[in-house]
Amino acid sequence: MVKILFVCHGNICRSPMAACLFSQMAKARGLDCVVSSAATSREEIGNPMYPPARRKLKEMGVPFGHHRAVQMTREDYGAYDFLLAMDSANVKNMKAIAGGDPEGKIRRLLDGTPHPRDIADPWYTGNFDATYADLAEGCQALLDRLEKMSYLKNPSE
């Protein structure tokens, strides 16, 4: 079973959206996984997912449950196989929290795509459509990578 932690600044927009979307996509592909999300900051700890993020997930038919923002911990580094940041600032902060990245587990979600880049924070941009599209691209690339790594069942079996 693969364990994945999605991380953004506040854990109220991008990372919980990514966790919900990836969970739905993984289930459809037969991936047995543990998926969660966290923040690098403490600003939003305990707060629910931002309402426009929930609205976008609902619009796209992606289920989401009860969410409260939490901060990434040093222990998360050992508990997860992949720690996926939404942007370069998150990567820097995650490495500081984890005390480094000796196993190379911390990377941006879109690093596994043909066009590696940051995912803009819709808290500031207001563009949840663009954020969702970036998250979908990153989650699909991650699923494809996991399939190559034999985490996914062969569709022909």
Q: What is the pLDDT of residues 63-75, one digit of tens each?
A: 999 999 999 999 9
Instruction: Work out the end-to-end distance of the chain between its first and last CA atoms, rounded to an integer number of angstroms.
Output: 18
The token pair that represents 112 in the structure block: 């596994």
Does residue 156 have a pLDDT over 60? no
The Cα angle at residue 129 between residues 119 and 36, in degrees rounded to 5 = 55
Its pTM surpasses 0.75: yes
CATH of residue 125: 3.40.50.2300
Q: Is residue 16 domain-resident?
A: yes
Q: Is residue 21 domain-resident?
A: yes
Q: Is residue 157 domain-resident?
A: no
Mean pLDDT of 149-155: 65
101 as an active site residue: the answer is no
Q: Which residues contact 62 (CB under 8 A, 6 or more apart)?
A: 17, 20, 21, 24
The token pair that represents 26 in the structure block: 């993984």
139 as an active site residue: the answer is no
Q: Is residue 18 domain-resident?
A: yes
Q: Is residue 156 domain-resident?
A: no
> Using the 8-state DSSP alphabet, how is residue 112 labeled?
G
Catalytic residue among 76, 87, 121, 134: 121
Catalytic residue among 8, 20, 33, 139: 8
> How many structural domains compose the chain?
1
d(CA 118, CA 39) in angstroms, rounded, equals: 16
Mean pLDDT of 88-94: 98
**CA distances (Å), 37 to each of 42, 110, 150, 154, in order?**
14, 16, 23, 27
8 as an active site residue: the answer is yes
Catalytic residue among 14, 87, 108, 134: 14
**Which domain, by its residues, includes 6?**
2-148
Mean pLDDT of 93-97: 98
